Amino acid sequence: MFYQDENFYYDITEKEEYWKGEDMQQVIDSIAKSPNRKILEVGCGIADILRFLPKDIEYTGTDISELALERAQARHKDTNAKFSYASAEDLPFVDSAFDFVLMFNAIEHCRDPKKALNEIFRVLRPKGKLVLTGPNLDLPFSISHGIRHKNRWYKNYIRLLRTFDYAGRVFGFLKFRTIPMNFTEATGRYEKPDDDLRYFCSAYEVIEYLKRLGAEVTYINKLQGQGLKFKVKKLITHLPGMRYYGKALSVILIKS
């Protein structure tokens, strides 16, 4: 889907500072140290990470934005990178095809996040590494900009549903709550972070589901802060289903 601010969207995602953070450096170092470097990036956008990776990698990027793929191809025309139009829920690759699968801030845009996780796990080889980042809306009352075009009654309805989702999560049920139409789809505009969110991304849901598929966590970002606010967040992480509360989803897993 092309919307009027799509160029603006990819302009603001092209920020070098994003790749200088501790979490991203963990990813870059992990790839650089690995002898196996066949990489798939799902939801690659303009494939900005390529600037920071070794030159001898075998990189494939997929996205459902034709504009992003055009910009990625133009930007990386002097590399061996390959790009293809494909959704995360239907990847056109054989099983166990890649050593690394990267998904940066894309899972929250999936219409069927569970199916997307199944697919990216399928194309990852045994002992391969999966890298996922995204927002974390573990708290049931968290509301995304993705529904800011809706009235307060709808937002309260979503909060109620997400409260039930949390209760189910405590007992092992993973809902993967999505919305039928986000702000960007409804208005054709992208103005604020997560205007185009479809899935109320829960770090607990995503990590727990991947562990059920057979993944082991090798790195996860730490809860940071200080003072009373940090102590309250730390306390909440001891509640059932809230282990990763207070921080964005940023995790590296290995497929068993």
User: 226 is written with which tokens?
Assistant: 């200080």
**How much is the pTM?**
0.91
Amino acid at 66: E
| Backbone φ and ψ of 249, nearest 5° | -70, 120
CATH number, domain containing residue 210: 3.40.50.150
Q: Are strands 98-104 and 124-134 parallel, antiparallel or unpaired?
A: parallel
User: 206 is written with which tokens?
Assistant: 């995503």
Q: How far is CA 204 from CA 88, 127, 172, 207, in A?
A: 20, 22, 11, 5
- Whether 39 is covered by a domain: the verdict is yes
Going through the chain in order, the beta strands assigned E by DSSP cover 38-42, 58-63, 82-85, 98-104, 124-134, 215-220, 249-255
- Whether 50 is covered by a domain: the verdict is yes
- Whether 30 is covered by a domain: the verdict is yes
- Whether 1 is covered by a domain: the verdict is no
- Whether 205 is covered by a domain: the verdict is yes
Helix (H) or strand (E) holding 205: helix 203-213
Amino acid at 12: I
Residue 233 structural domain: 6-255
- Whether 226 is covered by a domain: the verdict is yes
Q: What is the pLDDT of residue 30?
A: 82
| Average pLDDT of adjacent 10-residue blocks, the chain of 256 residues | 51 56 77 86 92 90 93 91 96 97 95 97 97 94 92 96 96 96 91 91 97 96 91 94 94 95
Q: What is the pLDDT of residue 240?
A: 94
Domain count, the chain: 1
| Backbone φ and ψ of 173, nearest 5° | -95, 125
